[in-house]
Structure 1
């Protein structure tokens, strides 16, 4: 199974609770933090919701 490298590039401050929940679910708590996640449909959906706040590398 492939992996995705996700980096938070924009702060979650001032964002709606749903978006903050997606970021927290992926383990992104601070700006410029990078996490490696499995490439699943659930993770892809979370990334789609916060696509304007994260950078994704495959």
Structure 2
């Protein structure tokens, strides 16, 4: 397998954190959200608290 060199260690860590978050906080509720037609506000709030929304913007 060819090693991935596109992302640096910081970005790899961020990707891993987002992946784990989605596995724990989103995947179990996906079917319900599909039925409801929307994702829960709580998921968006948690994602924002963890810095997963608009990560390119400064914290202010």
Which structure is higher in helix share? 2
Which structure is higher in strand share? 1
Query: Scaled by the length of structure 2, what TM-score is found?
Result: 0.29
